[in-house]
């Protein structure tokens, strides 16, 4: 093989190698994100994590205990959160308003009984639309958690929309991501200890549909870390506890 051809082949290989590395840097795989998050997290002795009581998973595999109780405090109207994080939510709502962005809470703490009623009602609605009982249950449980498996039951979650949402919508939908409220929350929610809990493209991990309106309190420290990682709580929690 001619030396000139060897040089060109070597150069092309080098350019392709650099290009692939650049793409992986821009769009790292979940396993890479997980390792980066783990390596950037201080050891337990170095942590200054706040509100560690709120840093835990709530889902089908990690339901609340049947005897779970919570002290509640109002955050907006009659909507309430765990009294230990209600102040963070109120400051977030007030600070957003100071920036000219008005956050409307449409759901917060829900009792287990209310959770059960919501799920059963949605299943019935889907069955009325023609789905079988099995199909309706499977679809409903991707949008509404089972009793004891909802973050709302723990008083740690807020559903947030725009003040005029119901004037143009009859349901909560993903186009909330096109609002100034969503943009403000994306930039600022972590400063108050909240994360957007069910991100896009991770439905198979979280078990729920993309919900840009659903915000979960985990404390300021971990909210910042989770936002930096770009990972859902399920992934992050595995190596950062």
Residue 43 DSSP symbol: P
* Alpha helix (H) residue ranges in the chain: 3-26, 30-39, 86-98, 112-128, 133-140, 165-168, 180-188, 203-206, 220-229, 233-239
Q: Which residue has the higher pLDDT, 162 or 14?
A: 162
Inform me whether the pLDDT recorded for 178 exceeds 90: yes
Q: Which residue has the higher pLDDT, 171 or 22?
A: 171
pLDDT band at 240 (very low <50, low <70, confident <90, very high): confident
* Segment 115-152, tens digit of pLDDT: 999 999 999 999 999 999 999 999 999 989 999 999 99
Q: Which residue has the higher pLDDT, 110 or 25?
A: 110
* Segment 30-80, tens digit of pLDDT: 555 555 554 554 444 446 799 999 999 999 999 999 999 999 999 999 999
| Average pLDDT of the chain, as a whole number | 87
Across 182-207, average pLDDT: 96
Q: What is the pLDDT of residue 42?
A: 47
Across 165-174, average pLDDT: 96
Q: Has this prediction a pTM greater than 0.75? A: yes
Element (DSSP H or E) covering residue 117: helix 112-128
Across 153-181, average pLDDT: 97
Report domain extents, the chain.
Answer: 30-110+154-239, 111-149
Q: What is the pLDDT of residue 23?
A: 42
With helix as H, strand as E and coil as C, how does 23-41 read? HHHHCCCHHHHHHHHHHCC
Q: What is the pLDDT of residue 2?
A: 54
Task: Give the phi and the psi of residue 175 in degrees, each rounded to 5.
Answer: -70, 0
Q: CA-CA distance, 98 to 86, in Å (whole number)? A: 18
Element (DSSP H or E) covering residue 205: helix 203-206
Q: What is the pLDDT of residue 5?
A: 57
Q: Which of 200, 209, 234 is nearest to 141 (CA)?
A: 209
Q: Which residue out of 141, 167, 187, 211 is catalytically annotated?
A: 211
Kindly report the CATH class assigned to 30-110+154-239: alpha beta
Percent of the chain at pLDDT > 90 equals 75
Q: What is the pLDDT of residue 43?
A: 45
pLDDT band at 22 (very low <50, low <70, confident <90, very high): very low
Q: What is the pLDDT of residue 17?
A: 46
Q: Would residue 187 show up in a list of annotated catalytic residues for this protein?
A: no
């Amino acid at each position: 093989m001619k030396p000139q051809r060897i040089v060109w082949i070597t150069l092309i290989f080098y350019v392709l190698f650099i290009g692939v590395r650049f793409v992986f840097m821009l769009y790292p795989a979940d396993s890479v994100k997980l390792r980066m998050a783990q390596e950037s997290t201080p050891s337990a002795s170095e942590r200054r994590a706040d509100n560690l009581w709120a840093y835990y998973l709530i889902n089908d595999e990690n339901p609340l205990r049947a005897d779970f109780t919570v002290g509640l405090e109002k955050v907006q109207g009659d909507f309430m959160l765990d009294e230990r994080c209600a102040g963070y939510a109120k400051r977030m709502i007030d600070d957003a308003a100071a920036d000219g962005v008005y956050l409307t809470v449409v759901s917060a703490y829900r009792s287990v009984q209310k959770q059960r009623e919501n799920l059963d009602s949605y299943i019935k609605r889907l069955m009325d639309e023609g789905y079988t009982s099995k199909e309706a249950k499977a679809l409903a449980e991707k949008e509404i958690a089972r009793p004891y498996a909802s973050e709302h039951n723990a008083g740690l979650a807020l559903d947030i929309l725009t003040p005029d949402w119901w004037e143009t919508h009859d349901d909560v939908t993903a186009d909330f991501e096109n609002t100034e409220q969503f943009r403000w929350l994306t930039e600022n929610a972590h400063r108050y200890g909240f994360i957007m809990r069910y991100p896009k493209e991770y439905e198979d991990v979280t078990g729920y549909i993309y919900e840009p309106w659903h915000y979960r309190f985990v404390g300021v420290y971990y909210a910042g870390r989770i936002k930096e990682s770009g990972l859902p709580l399920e992934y992050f929690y595995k190596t950062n506890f």
